[in-house]
Structure 1
Amino acid sequence: MSAVSGQFDTWFRRYEPASPGAVKLLALPHAGGSAPYFLPLARALAPRVDVLCVQYPGRLDRHREPPLTDLRELAERVYRALVGEPVGPVVLFGHSMGAVLAYEIARRLERAGGGELLGVIASGRRAPHRFREETVHLRDDEGLIAEIRELSGTDKGILEDEELVRMVLPALRADYRAVETYRESPEVPPLAAPVTVLTGESDPRVGLDDARAWQELTSGAFRFRSFPGGHFYLNNRPGEVTAAVRESIEAFRGAAAPTSP
């Protein structure tokens, strides 16, 4: 096994078995998030979808590894771990920071031929070319925690446990630095793969127009779905979100299927 292919188990967590030939769904967490965030989704989609939940360095079983602060480097490492073994049909699904990672990984897959990429599902993030100056990663610890409280994506019990908070802050700050210092390259062509966007209607960080702007980044089909709720709308509407993800995967598969002569 090569060094690259040997990275598969380092980066990906498969919580449920999948049927032979199942489409892979690469699930990329938000800033400060970890692979188990997508465990309910993996259970809901199994066995027809093979959900691979990405585990970033610097958290949980990878807590001894330094977190990465460059989003393109993070995307490159996930991409190399993915293609180190036979991929098969794959859909990229990312929430918040994970949506930008999905975009960068999709670009790499398309540059390499793109035959295995069925589509991208971007959740809870404005289109990458809609830049906005943000400096959360430069705040002190209390300022960083305040941001997390506002977005309501972390269990309040964790935020009240000072020891736990101190453990997760380095990875959280690194993630925020990675996504806030990222700049989309304007000279690259749009994706050929279809894109679905999912977003919360009252997300304080993502306006509906900025979410719809993902359409400008693909020459393929575009689907848009908004849900009641804020940045972590998907926490409160798991059934609806799962259905939307499943529908998108089926639409991607249908578009990729060869047509009869």
Structure 2
Amino acid sequence: MTPEPVPLLCLPYAGAGASVFAKWHPLTPPGVLLAPLQLPGREERTDEEPLREVAEAVRALLPAAEAAAAGHRRVALFGHSMGAVLAFELARALEERTEIPVAHVYVSGSPGPFHGRTESAADLDDDAFLAAVETFAGYRHPVWEVAEFRELLLPMLRADVAMHEGYRPLSQAPVEAPVTCLRGDADALVGAGDAAEWGKVTTGAFTYAELPGGHMYLLDAPGELLRLIAADLHPGAGAPTGREAR
């Protein structure tokens, strides 16, 4: 029997939009319904002002999260790097402000939320800013070498970086939903100890898991990640299978 689909609200890393999850759709196991959420200032929302505060972002995302949950008994959330803190705070908002049960929160490629960020790159000049982003993100997208795209997208990336650098938990209270912290086993940017600090944010079960790859492991082989999520959400359904994206 096909398991009942659970919407997986997906939040991307800084500088990315919902389309980063497009390659996940053909790999998604039964029982998981991908629901990427789009922040203002990117892709089809480039005419909107990008946000610089996590609290603002959560307020902006909550209606879309509620719409994605409509008709379903529960939701799960996944976020990577900046998206991890957005997923965590959005889960808190769903628990506090709605009747929607949060089945699970997956925080990926991020130190625990009480870790804080000591670096400040958002207000550097363009070249220094992009060099700093490359250092703490572990990659440099080719789009930044194209002058037209660079001019168009830099304000959004600066806003995302400011949001992530300035983030502090919106409450000291833990969430009730189970939390799984995910990390690439070769991630040179987020250490295992810092990632495991997510265990302090929930009164539910906490799991720490490593998957093959570096900081951006989720782009290289999302199939294993999606199978892990499906097995969590539907533990009695057996191990789903799927091909890896290459």
What range describes the TM-score normalised by the shorter chain of this pair?
Answer: 0.7 to 0.9
Are the aligned partners of 2:29 and 2:230 in contact in 1 as well (CA < 8 Å)? no
Q: Give distance in 2, aligned partners of 1:194 and 1:20.
A: 20
Give unmatched runs, 5+ long, in structure 1: 1-18, 254-261
Written as runs of structure 1 = structure 2, the 5 A alignment for 1:75-114 is: 75-83=58-66, 86=70, 88=72, 89-112=74-97
Instruction: Compute the displacement of 1:87 (Å).
Output: 5.7
Match of 1:124 among 109, 120, 139: 109
Q: Which residue of 2 aligns with 1:36?
A: 19
Measured on the aligned residues, the alpha-carbon RMSD in Å equals 2.5
Normalised to the residue count of structure 2, the TM-score between the two structures is: 0.85
Change (3 A) 1:167 1:79: same
Q: Which residue of 2 aligns with 1:223?
A: 207
Q: Give distance in 1, aligned partners of 2:10 and 2:139.
A: 17
Match of 2:178 among 174, 194, 198: 194
Q: Which residue of 1 aligns with 2:50?
A: 67
Runs of 4+ in structure 1 over 6 Å off: none
Change (3 A) 1:59 1:187: closer
Partner AA of 1:42 in structure 2: H
Are the aligned partners of 1:124 and 1:231 in contact in 2 as well (CA < 8 Å)? yes
- Comparing 120-129 with 223-232, greater Cα deviation is found at 223-232
Partner AA of 2:128 in structure 1: G
SS in 2 for 1:138: coil
Match of 1:58 among 27, 41, 46: 41
Instruction: Compute the displacement of 1:81 (Å).
Output: 2.9
Written as runs of structure 1 = structure 2, the 5 A alignment for 1:131-150 is: 131-150=116-135
Question: How much identity, in percent, do the aligned residues show?
Answer: 36
Give unmatched runs, 5+ long, in structure 2: 238-246
- Using CA pairs under 8 Å that are at least 6 residues apart, name the structure with larger relative contact order, 1 or 2: 2
Q: Give distance in 2, aligned partners of 1:238 and 1:119.
A: 18
Q: Give distance in 2, aligned partners of 1:80 and 1:113.
A: 10
Are the aligned partners of 1:194 and 1:252 in contact in 2 as well (CA < 8 Å)? no
Instruction: Compute the displacement of 1:185 (Å).
Output: 4.4
Q: Give distance in 2, aligned partners of 1:142 and 1:21.
A: 48
Normalised to the residue count of structure 1, the TM-score between the two structures is: 0.81
SS in 1 for 2:198: helix
Change (3 A) 1:242 1:229: same
Aligned length: 234
SS in 2 for 1:197: strand
